[in-house]
Amino acid sequence: MGFQHVYRVPIFVEKLRMKKMATQILIAPGYGNSGEEHWQTYWQKENKDFVRIEQRDWFEPSADEWAETIEKYVREASGEVVVVAHSLACLALAHWAQKTNLILKGALLVAPPDANDEKLKNVVKGFSPIPLIKFPFKSIVLASTNDEYNPIDNAEFFAKNWGSEFVNIGRKGHINALSNLQNWPEGRSYLSRLL
């Protein structure tokens, strides 16, 4: 009976493989970044594997720069990527999607604002016109009936053009810290559907 060599993969190599196969969650905050009481921050604190996309300037946003930053984070992520975008980051993601050759596993777009609106145009320059092209990845848009930055029917119009599933989550304002959602289990359930 001859000697049979059994090759075992070193543990550190197996862990590296598992890490590469895992889905990377990128948190993309909107204008001003997401503060301590924002659901995005709660999610990030609860899961150390969630990575925040850090923009250079949160208060004088540039659509091109924000899209380039998304490109950098997606390119550097290991494994498949799901982006969780809030507010202006939804529009940055739309601008990114029409320029990139990278593909996401999915995107959760929460409370996309209307950058075509005159009151926002002066603050968020370069985000208008909003790209209305179908995303080459699965996406879900969550919107509120009393969002001061975008009427619900307009958010649904964005979702339809992006090829996103649209969900009306009721009266939740701009779905931000003022909405007092804390770790927002409802939002987590929609994220899990993308995973």
pTM of structure:
0.88
- Tell me, yes or no, whether 167 lies in a domain: yes
Domain of 118 in residue numbering reads as: 13-31+40-52+63-194
Tokens found for residue 155: 């958010």
3-class DSSP state for residue 156?
helix
Q: Which of 194, 158, 149 is nearest to 176 (CA)?
A: 149
How many angstroms separate the Cα of 13 from the Cα of each of 9, 48, 76, 81? 7, 22, 19, 21
Q: What is the DSSP letter of 139?
A: E
- Tell me, yes or no, whether 130 lies in a domain: yes
pLDDT at 56 over 60: yes
List the CATH number of the domain containing 130: 3.40.50.1820
Identify the pLDDT of residue 125.
Answer: 83
Domain count, the chain: 1
Quick: pLDDT tens for 73-131: 999 998 899 999 999 999 999 999 999 999 999 999 999 999 988 878 778 889 999 99
- Tell me, yes or no, whether 1 lies in a domain: no
- Tell me, yes or no, whether 3 lies in a domain: no
